[in-house]
């Protein structure tokens, strides 16, 4: 490799790191604004704002604000936990299959059911998450269009709701009652 090739490679590497740093900075700023938005939305709903930053509890609070109950939040947390466990088992079986001699194919087959379970649970969690984002947005009196947008662009919709002066919490609106009181 010549000095000129080394300089070109160094330039590409420097450009990559600069672009990566800019993307990470934007992501961190966007994340902080999203946390502040959820904090404000939780406070508008009469819940403590700090609950927006506590793992697992923030999901339960979002579900309570959206539906008035914690039940679907518990289901959502369980789905995410099952997905994590199945993905971990599948990853371990793949690692063992790649490092073993001879029986790697049989070991990889052991991980297949866990992959399928993980896929099904992931789809279920995504559908439930979309429903909860829709209901969360609806509980602030937003239009159906905003509610649908919140399924795909939740952080942006939440920022619009949090920093909009006309957004008020009106309570759970029309969610499915799976558990009767």
**Predicted confidence (pLDDT) at residue 85 exceeds the cutoff of 50:** yes
In whole angstroms, give the CA distance from residue 71 to residue 153.
24
Q: Which residue has the tokens 């609950």?
A: 51
Choose the weakest-confidence range: 25-34, 91-100, 101-110. Answer: 101-110
**Predicted confidence (pLDDT) at residue 168 exceeds the cutoff of 70:** yes
CB-CB neighbours of 20 under 10 Å: 10
Q: At what angle are helices 154-163 and 144-152 packed, to 10 degrees?
A: 130
Centroid of chain to Cα 180? 28
Are the CB atoms for 158 and 167 separated by under 8 Å?
no
DSSP-assigned letter for residue 10: H
Are the CB atoms for 159 and 35 separated by under 8 Å?
no
User: Domain map of the chain by residue range?
Assistant: 3-163
Confidence of residue 3 (pLDDT cuts 50, 70, 90): confident
């Amino acid at each position: 490799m010549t000095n000129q090739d080394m300089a070109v490679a160094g330039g590409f590497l420097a450009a990559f790191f600069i672009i990566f740093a800019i993307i990470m900075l934007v992501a961190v700023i966007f994340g902080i604004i999203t946390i502040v938005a959820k904090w404000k939305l939780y406070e508008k709903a009469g819940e403590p704002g700090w609950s927006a930053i506590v793992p697992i509890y923030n999901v339960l609070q979002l579900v309570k604000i959206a539906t008035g109950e914690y039940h679907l939040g518990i289901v959502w947390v369980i789905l995410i936990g099952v997905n994590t466990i199945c993905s971990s088992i599948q990853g371990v079986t793949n690692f063992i299959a790649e490092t073993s001699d001879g029986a790697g194919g049989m070991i990889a087959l052991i991980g297949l059911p866990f992959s399928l379970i993980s896929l099904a649970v992931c789809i279920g969690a995504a559908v439930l998450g979309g429903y909860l984002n829709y209901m969360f947005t609806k509980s602030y009196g937003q239009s159906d269009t905003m509610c649908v947008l919140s399924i795909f662009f939740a952080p942006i919709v939440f920022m619009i709701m949090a920093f909009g002066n006309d957004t008020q919490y009106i309570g759970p609106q029309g969610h499915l009652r799976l558990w009767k009181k």
